[in-house]
Structure 1
Amino acid sequence: MTETNTAEQQPAESLRDLATQAAVLKLLAERVAAAQKDVRKRTQAALDTAAARDGVERIAAELPGGQAVATIGLRKGETGPVVVDEDAFARWVRATFPDEEWTETRIVRTVKPWKAAELLAEMDAAGTAQIADKVTGQVHTVPGVTIRPTRARTHGITWRKGGKDATAEAWRTGALAAQLAAITAGKEDEAA
């Protein structure tokens, strides 16, 4: 039997049913994305508050019946050196290392990307916007660079074994109806 014969024997899906399914899934995806963004922001704020107040950095996610399905935990942010004034940084590199060709003169002086990365890595390792000259030992405060957050503190979800299946089953049976109501509510429902 050829593939054509097999395809011809199977009932064709209704184009109208497919169009409806596509529209419903698109709406659901849009609402889920908006709800996820909102709950992620609120969860982060609550975790940050709990961590500062009580030292809590993780919490179990439980289904209405009490079954723990996942753990939500803080992930630490990172700080590091960031060039905030390219011109000041380039002038400092040129003045501090005049014999090196680590800068380029265009309309403005810039530091070659590979050297900027190397210098920023040194500052990152030291935890300060300072460089110690390897030849003279002199410590330079580097203008145009500051230490600030480079990646925000966030949180992640770690599913427990069987947690996804249990959550899907709770969704299927309606046990999560209260939690999902806001996602499926229309604008007129949200105002009520």
Structure 2
Amino acid sequence: MSTATTAPEQDVDQDVEQPAASLRDLAIEAAALDVLAARVAAAKKDVRARLQTALDEAAQRDGVDRVVAELPGGRPVATVSLRRGSVGPVVVDEDVFARWVAARWPEQRAEFTETRVVRTVKAWRAAELVGEMAALDLSIEQGKSTRPAMWADPDTGELVEVPGVLIKPTSARTHSLTWRKDGKAATAEAWRTGGRAQQFAALTTGAEK
């Protein structure tokens, strides 16, 4: 007696073709996501500004430079860390700086500077001098963030205040967010199950400006 072989049963859902999204469906989906993306971008910009202010205040008051982001149940999902800005010499008046360089090295005036509408220090020499000022500033007592730049004469050791150059902030203080393992998935699940419903509602309600 022969036995007939039959093909394995197919999942009914796999045989049924899913209807393709209509052009109108795709259009409204794109429009809705555009609104949501704009609101998320605005909310992210706002919370970053408020978080930066809070981090700066905590760092100054308590020396705190990081905070753990936790879900309502106490599960840590990410760490936010303060990134301190940098300070260094910045040429704020090229004409005054160039006059100082030309007067300081008159024999190399043509080599170190160039004349356009005004005399300027050539980029390579400016980079050298600014580097020397930056190195010196790290070795002396630092006061307020914006102050005159100093240069040390290698022959005499004299500290000279450089016209047209200031020590000032060159990059702003900021912060970074580092996700923990599975932190993104846990946060998304909390959002999906209502754990962050208030935040989601704030993004999806209200009129556009």
Q: Does 1:117 align with 2:137?
A: no
CA distance in 1, matches of 2:45, 2:74: 25
Superposition map of 1:25-36 within 5 A: 25-36=33-44
- Provide the aligned C-alpha RMSD in A: 2.0
List gaps (5 residues or longer) in structure 2: 1-16, 138-147
Q: Does 1:22 align with 2:42?
A: no
What does the per-residue CA deviation read over 1:156-191, in whole Å, with 9 as the maximum and x for residues that have no partner? 101111101111111222211112222222138x9x
Superposition map of 1:128-147 within 5 A: 129-147=149-167
Match of 1:3 in 2: none
> Structure 1 counterpart of 2:99, which letter?
R
> Structure 2 counterpart of 1:107, which letter?
V
Aligned match for 2:136, one of 118, 122, 126: 126
Describe the shift of the 1:46–1:117 C-alpha distance in structure 2 as closer, same or farther (beyond 3 A): same
Match of 1:179 in 2: 199
Identity across the alignment (%): 65
The SS at the match of 2:106 is coil
Aligned match for 1:170, one of 190, 195, 198: 190
* TM norm structure 1: 0.87
> Structure 2 counterpart of 1:57, which letter?
D
The SS at the match of 1:129 is strand
CA distance in 2, matches of 1:135, 1:98: 16
Aligned match for 1:151, one of 171, 181, 189: 171
Describe the shift of the 1:103–1:131 C-alpha distance in structure 2 as closer, same or farther (beyond 3 A): same
Match of 1:6 in 2: none
CA distance in 2, matches of 1:119, 1:30: 45
Offset, 1:136: 4.4
> Structure 2 counterpart of 1:114, which letter?
W
Higher Cα Rg, which structure: 2
> Structure 2 counterpart of 1:29, which letter?
A
Offset, 1:10: 8.0
The SS at the match of 1:148 is strand
> Structure 2 counterpart of 1:32, which letter?
V
CA distance in 2, matches of 1:136, 1:99: 18
Offset, 1:13: 3.0
Match of 2:180 in 1: 160
CA distance in 1, matches of 2:89, 2:132: 9
The SS at the match of 2:117 is coil
